[in-house]
Each structure stands twice: as C-alpha cells, then as structure tokens.
Amino acid sequence: MLQPPGFGQNSITTSLGEMVYYTAESSPWLIKGDENDSAKTLVFLHGFGGGSSAYEWSQIYPAFASEYRILAPDLIGWGRSSHPVRNYQIDDYLSTITEFLEKTCNEPTTVIASSLTAALVIRVAIAHPELFSSLILITPAGLSDFGKNYTRSFFAQLVSTPILDNLIYGVGVANELAIRGFLEQRQFARPERIYPEIVEAYLKGAQRANAEYSALSFVRGDLCFDLSDYITQLTIPTAMLWGRQSKFTGPEIGHRLAQMNPEVIKAFQVIEDVGLTPQLELPAVTIGLIRKFLKLLG
C-alpha cells in the first residue's frame, strides 16, 4: 500500500483474523511533546471491489490528521488484513466492523464510509448506536435496493460457477489491464483522472494471496441486500454524498433512501461529473464536503 507520510501500520485481532489499520504516528502529524489524547476520532472505511483497500481514502484522511485521530483500516479479506479462505457473508463484515470500533474507539465516533461498506455501516449503527456519533456516507447502497435482486444479474450468475469464478478473477480482475479498464468504465467519470499510483494500489491489493475470496463473494452478490429494509431504523445523524455518474447505483436511489428517514439524514449532496469514488476522483472537493458535514452533524 502507498501510505501518506507520517502514517504507520497497526492491527487488532478480530474473530476472522488480523485487521490492519493506518494512523498518524510521526512527523508532520505527531511531534515530540505534542499531547493529542483529547482529539476526536475519524474512522475511514473503504468500499468493496477488486483490489480495494484503505488506499481509497489516502488522499483524504491526511487533511484531517492535525485535528483528529485518524483510523483507516483494511477490512478483513482486503489490503494487508487477514484473508481467510471462506465465502464471505454479510455477518462477517457486520461483526468485524463492530469489533474494530469496539477495540479502537473509546467513545462514540464519526465513521466515514463508501459504497456497500457504507450500507453495512448503517446496519452496524442500527444494532450498536452507542458506537457512533455521526455518519458521513458516500454512495451508501446495498446493491439490491428497493427489491432489485443483484444476484440474478448475468455477471453474478456467471461468477457463481465453480472453477470459472477463479478464471474470471485472474483474467478480469487481477491484472493491470483489467484494473485500469474497471476504473475507467465503472468507477471514474473521467478516465484522465486515473493516475498510475491508483492502478498500482488496486493491482497490489488484487494480487495478494487469497484476495479472490472476498472479491468473488462481493461480485456474486453474497454481501448485497436491500438497504431500504433498514434505513428507517437508523438514528445516528447522517450525511450522504453521491457521484452523479455512479455506475452501480445512481443518485436517484440515494434520494429515495434519504427521503425515507429525513429527520436523521441531515444532508444529501450530489457531486456533478464524478463517479463512484469522489474521494479518489475529486479529493479536494470531497475534503471540503466532509468538513461541511462534520460541522452540520456536530
């Protein structure tokens, strides 16, 4: 992983293995004699997809490191965290995200998350509201929202075929051409914003030993669900951010979800000319909006 200066790697033990996370450990963020024990914590959780990791937030969290205690984990099955050989299920991430927050945060915390992970965080916040002070979510979608069943899609059915699934992963995910093609066609609104470091980071993640198990569980739809079944139960103050050109789930889905719980979802912001991951595509704009939401949510 390509880490920002001054950030080091730590880990905790979860029920599924070691979860690695990145936090400020040295200059320019921590200088000898500084006392920052009272700083609030911001937790940044990456989304799912071939090669995903905490790198997804690496252009964002340094902007907050002088004010907040930053925690940016690689989720189980991704990045440098443990990659147990298993067919991952929704409960695996509900439990390990909960364990991470319980072991690293000693007070209710602001969590910033993206994509399907953001939808899973909503479910964790419903089950454990005491862990959260606020949520800032980028494209939170269960990918089977409002009755749409992702697992019935042609690609999900194709990847569910034994032997063929690993072949598809090797040819269609775990190589540089496939990574760049996915970023250009599905993740970014404008391909010229994809620079070599982004491709390198995703490729390293996709080629780690046993990385295919979590990625294929995601692509098969094993981790998908209908977020509209849960959104009304959320009680934690929340802001949502959506890329206008998000290919997987458009902002119209986000509007419908936000309107189901308007007292809790305090803001819904669409960014023009950006895709699924504005944190990589337009980091400066994303930083500005996160600051705006932190003030709004108090």
CATH number at residue 88: 3.40.50.1820
The answer to whether position 2 is within a domain reads: no
CB atoms within 10 A of CB 239: 23
| Integer Cα distance of 181 and 59 in angstroms | 22
Which domain range does residue 89 map to?
7-297
pTM: 0.95
Give residue-wise pLDDT tens across range 125-173: 999 999 999 999 999 999 999 988 876 676 666 666 676 777 778 887 8
- Give the per-residue pLDDT at 235: 98
Structure tokens of 240?
């949502």
The answer to whether position 1 is within a domain reads: no
Number of H helices, E strands in the chain: 10, 8
Q: What percent of the chain has pLDDT over 90?
A: 85
| Integer Cα distance of 196 and 183 in angstroms | 12
Report the domain count for the chain: 1
Mean pLDDT of 265-269: 98
The answer to whether position 213 is within a domain reads: yes
The answer to whether position 261 is within a domain reads: yes
Structure tokens of 276?
């699924």
